[in-house]
Each structure stands twice: as structure tokens, then as C-alpha cells.
Amino acid sequence: MRAYVFALPLLLVGCVPHRDVPLAEIPKLTTLGDVMFVQANLADPQFKKIGKDSYGDADWPAFKDAGERLVATTQKVKDSFSKGPEFDALATQLQDKAKTLMAASDAKDAKLASATLADMKTTCKTCHKKFR
């Protein structure tokens, strides 16, 4: 009986979809909810960095990675889960901001990165208000 008590949490954790999806796996996502969870998993930690004057060496590749995967998730949203032109426009807006974040990462431009993260967060909130 004791073994079951310890095994049950492990089984439950194994049933929860992994949300840190690699770039190559994003096109394989099958529900809008899965895509949104991936986006939140990518963006929320970066949003906590809004307003900083400088970033550390680990932040730049994290921004680049988040940007690359957000470009892919927004494309997946438009291709597979569109809710109409306004929804697609917000997805495109987020995609453009993700590309700007990647450029800020390449240039190590803290001001641009912070402003872009703030814009991305606003885009997410706007979309959630209208479509969630």
C-alpha cells in the first residue's frame, strides 16, 4: 500500500503535458490551450524583467529563445486556431514583437528589450480580454 502512495504522484506528474516545448515540436501542438500554455511558460518569466536598465549574460539567450518560440506559437495560432481577423491581427502583433525582442537580444539593447517585453505583455492582455 505504501508503494502506491508514493507512486501515485509520480504517475499524475507524468500525465501532465510538458509545457517547455522545443521549437521543433510547436507545430505538433493540437489545441489552442496547449499553445497558450507554451506561450505563458515562455513569456511570463520574461515579463518579470520589464523595467530593468540592464540584463545579465543569461538574459540575452533567454530573450532570443523566447522570441523564436513565440514566433512559432503565434504562427501556429494563426494557422490552426484562428478566431477571425482581429484575433489574427493580435497574433501577428505578438509575433512582430517577438521578432523585435530577438533583435534586441542580438544587439544587447536593454532599453529596447524592456520596452518590447512591456508591449508584448500589453498585447497578451488585450487578446485575453477579447478572446479568453
Range of the domain at 116: 19-131
The vertex-108 CA angle with 107 and 109, nearest 5°, equals 85
pLDDT, one tens digit per residue, over 104-129 is 999 999 999 999 999 999 999 999 99
Is residue 122, in this structure, part of any structural domain at all? Answer: yes
pTM, rounded to two decimals: 0.84
Domain of residue 78, CATH code = 1.20.120
The total domain count for the chain is 1
**Residues 35-81 pLDDT 10s:** 999 999 999 999 999 999 999 999 999 999 999 999 999 999 999 99
